[in-house]
Structure 1
Amino acid sequence: MAFENYPEAEQTPLKAVNGAPERKNNFRPIITGLLVAALLGTWGYIIYDKNQTKETIVQKDTMIASTSSQRDQLQKELEDAAMRYDVLKTSNSKKDSAITVKDKEIADKKSRIQELLNKANATQAELNEAKRLIASLNGDIEGYREQVAVLQQQKTQLIAEKEVVTQQRDRVQRNYDSSTLVLKQKEDMLNVASTLHASNFNIVGINEKSNGKEKTTSTAKRVDKLRISFDLDENMVSESGTKEIFVCITGPDGNPIAVQALGSGTFSTRAGVQKPYTQKLDVNYTQNKRQTISFDWKQNSDFATGNYKIEVYNNGFKVGEGFKPLKKGGLFS
């Protein structure tokens, strides 16, 4: 009998245990496909999420850049407004009360705007508020400028008016000074013209006797007092009234005789020099009338031998003088 060798294992299905046929595994491709799909989905999600994140970052960067640019622009507008405001304040050093109140309002707005712009994470609402306040600030500064312009105009007008008033005042002052000078010159002329003149001097030494009688003498050691007389000449300018007459006696030694206890003192000459006087006389003078003045000078010491000079002053001027020599006593004097 002939036998053929056929590969039964490749032509017949596998037998299951206990004679049942074995099923093929059909789930592996499905699982593999699901895993591949899941992997692809994960990659797709990762790529999508990354793109979304990148877009978000770009949007945020754009927003930050826009916000920063907007804040920088607002900061520049604030600085420009502040500079204009400072220039106006400098040009208007003298302000009225209304402008002083406006100063505070402007300063408060500047402070609030700067506070908003200094925020690192300023919101759009805060930037909008800053923008609105800057617009309001510019309006305030414009109003301030108009007020300053009005004040400057008023100042210019006041300066012009002051110049006119100053010129008028200076003209009046010059006229007044001129009139005052003329009056003073006239007064000085009248004062000089009213100065009295002394003449006809008569100076004698008087020896007083024990019985009360008097005897004239030229011997120094016998003189108890000097009797001095002179005339005040007529003067049509000098008004009637009390006149001060200063009599200055100079002794033989060249020194003025002035005894304070006897009424002596000093007076000012026309040259402004303080000069000692021996006796002051208050004379009741009558205008344009010659008057004889006489008085005695008795000192508390002996009269010396030599020449005595008697000078008379009125209105600071020397108006006359006389001399009296006293001799040394002899055996028959």
Structure 2
Amino acid sequence: MNNTENNKPHKLHRTTLIIGAVSLALIVILGILYFKNRSEMKVLVDEMVQEKEMLTYEFENLALDYDSLQTSSDTLNTMLEREREKISHLIEEIQTIKATNASKIREYKKELTSLRRVMKNYIVQIDSLNQSNKALQEENQQYKKKVTTMQSTYSKLEVVKETLQEKVEIASKLETFNMEAEGLNSKGRSTRRTSRISKIRICFSIQKNITAKVGEKNIYLRILRPDGALLYHSKDDLFEHENQKINYSAMRTIEYGGQELDVCLYYQVDAGELTGGEYIADVFADGRNIGTLHFNLN
């Protein structure tokens, strides 16, 4: 009886020790599991943070890739700007979410893939447009070269034309020969005494010229006295020479047919108008001086 009673406390003490040992073991095991899980969780969280940072980095690189796209198309530029704004908003959103929000991270990854695919499509379009622009630029350069060549040819032809016109003008200029001057008295007799001269007659021959224009021509005569004064009767007696109007002493209209032609012009002298010395007679036609003669009167 006593042995039984003595064994009871011993068994109770032994049970308590076993329970305590088991509890301690459980506590130790639970502690180990807790710290192990905590460590694993920390590693997982760190990985998710890195994944978020990497995702942000990839979106930023994508934004730079979009910024590098250049095109001359206003429509494409508008669409590219829209994509850039979208990427900028997504970067801001990613920075605000928690790294542990796995579902959101997956959504952004899908969006990143989609945006990359869209960008590749834009690259193809821009490359095609650039190729077309390059072809147009080359075609434009060829066109400019042709235009430059044509302009150069035209300029040369203009020079040739002007040269030919000058030659034609020179060739068509009337020329005189056998010019003679004579003073006539009131009876039509020849005299060189200025006091007796009532008319001055200038005669000459116009050379044959088949390139000159035929038809009526006005022949003008200018006679200068020894003192350089022009002999003329009216200030209204004018003709055009070298783009200005000048007076003439006498004028006659002839019919020129391209063949040699003899012509005489007369100047009616006013009383006391003449002086002794050397006179100069110039003949004009078609706005050009076609003959000059120096003669003396006493």
Is structure 2 residue 124 aligned with structure 1 residue 146? Answer: yes
User: Can you list the C-alpha shifts for 1:167-214, whole angstroms capped at 9, x where unaligned?
Assistant: 54455455545544444433332221111112333445578x8xxx88
Contact 1:201 1:230 in 2 (8 A): yes
Classify the secondary structure of the residue corresponding to 2:281: strand
Q: Which residue of 1 aligns with 2:206?
A: 232
Q: Which residue of 1 aligns with 2:92?
A: 115
Paired residue type of 1:237: T
Question: Could you tell me how far apart the structure 1 residues matched to 2:63 and 2:198 are?
Answer: 99
Contact 2:238 2:246 in 1 (8 A): yes
Contact 1:251 1:307 in 2 (8 A): yes
Q: Which residue of 2 aligns with 1:96?
A: 73
Paired residue type of 1:100: N
Classify the secondary structure of the residue corresponding to 2:296: strand
Q: Which residue of 1 aligns with 2:134?
A: 156
**Percent of pairs with identical residues:** 20
Q: Which residue of 2 aligns with 1:286?
A: 256
List aligned pairs for 1:187-206, cutoff 5 A.
187-204=165-182
Contact 1:193 1:237 in 2 (8 A): yes
What is the number of residues matched between the two proteins?
A: 267
Question: Could you tell me how far apart the structure 2 residues matched to 1:148 and 1:317 are?
Answer: 69
Q: CA RMSD in A?
A: 4.7
List aligned pairs for 1:1-333, cutoff 5 A.
55=38, 59=41, 63=45, 65-66=46-47, 68-89=49-70, 92=71, 95-119=72-96, 127-173=105-151, 175-204=153-182, 218=192, 227-241=201-215, 243=217, 247=221, 249-254=223-228, 261-264=235-238, 267-268=241-242, 277-279=246-248, 285-291=255-261, 292=263, 294=265, 296=267, 302-313=273-284, 318-327=289-298
Question: Could you tell me how far apart the structure 2 residues matched to 1:108 and 1:119 are?
Answer: 17
Of residues 180-189 and 278-287 in structure 1, the stretch that sits farther from structure 2 once superposed is 278-287
Contact 2:168 2:211 in 1 (8 A): yes
User: Can you list the C-alpha shifts for 1:25-44, whole angstroms capped at 9, x where unaligned?
Assistant: xxxxxxxxxxxx9xx9xxx8
Contact 2:219 2:285 in 1 (8 A): yes
1:153: how far off?
2.0
User: Can you list the C-alpha shifts for 1:199-252, whole angstroms capped at 9, x where unaligned?
Assistant: 333445578x8xxx8887655577777554443322111121455766555443
Between structure 1 and structure 2, the one with the greater Rg is 1
Q: 1:317 to 1:101 in 2, by over 3 A?
A: same
Question: Could you tell me how far apart the structure 2 residues matched to 1:169 and 1:146 are?
Answer: 34
Classify the secondary structure of the residue corresponding to 2:85: helix
Paired residue type of 1:69: Q
Question: Could you tell me how far apart the structure 2 residues matched to 1:222 and 1:129 are?
Answer: 126
Contact 1:224 1:302 in 2 (8 A): no
Question: Could you tell me how far apart the structure 2 residues matched to 1:297 and 1:74 are?
Answer: 113
Q: 1:88 to 1:233 in 2, by over 3 A?
A: same
Question: Could you tell me how far apart the structure 1 residues matched to 2:274 and 2:92 are?
Answer: 104
Paired residue type of 1:158: L
Question: Could you tell me how far apart the structure 2 residues matched to 1:81 and 1:246 are?
Answer: 90
Classify the secondary structure of the residue corresponding to 2:241: strand
Question: Could you tell me how far apart the structure 2 residues matched to 1:60 and 1:307 are?
Answer: 128
Question: Could you tell me how far apart the structure 2 residues matched to 1:256 and 1:130 are?
Answer: 105
Q: Which residue of 2 aligns with 1:13?
A: none
Q: 1:145 to 1:233 in 2, by over 3 A?
A: same
Gaps spanning 5+ residues in structure 1: where?
1-36, 269-273, 328-333
Paired residue type of 2:208: E
Classify the secondary structure of the residue corresponding to 1:323: strand
Paired residue type of 1:189: K
Gaps spanning 5+ residues in structure 2: where?
1-19
Paired residue type of 2:260: R
Classify the secondary structure of the residue corresponding to 1:325: strand
Paired residue type of 2:259: K
TM-score (norm 2): 0.63
1:262: how far off?
3.2
Question: Could you tell me how far apart the structure 2 residues matched to 1:237 and 1:139 are?
Answer: 81
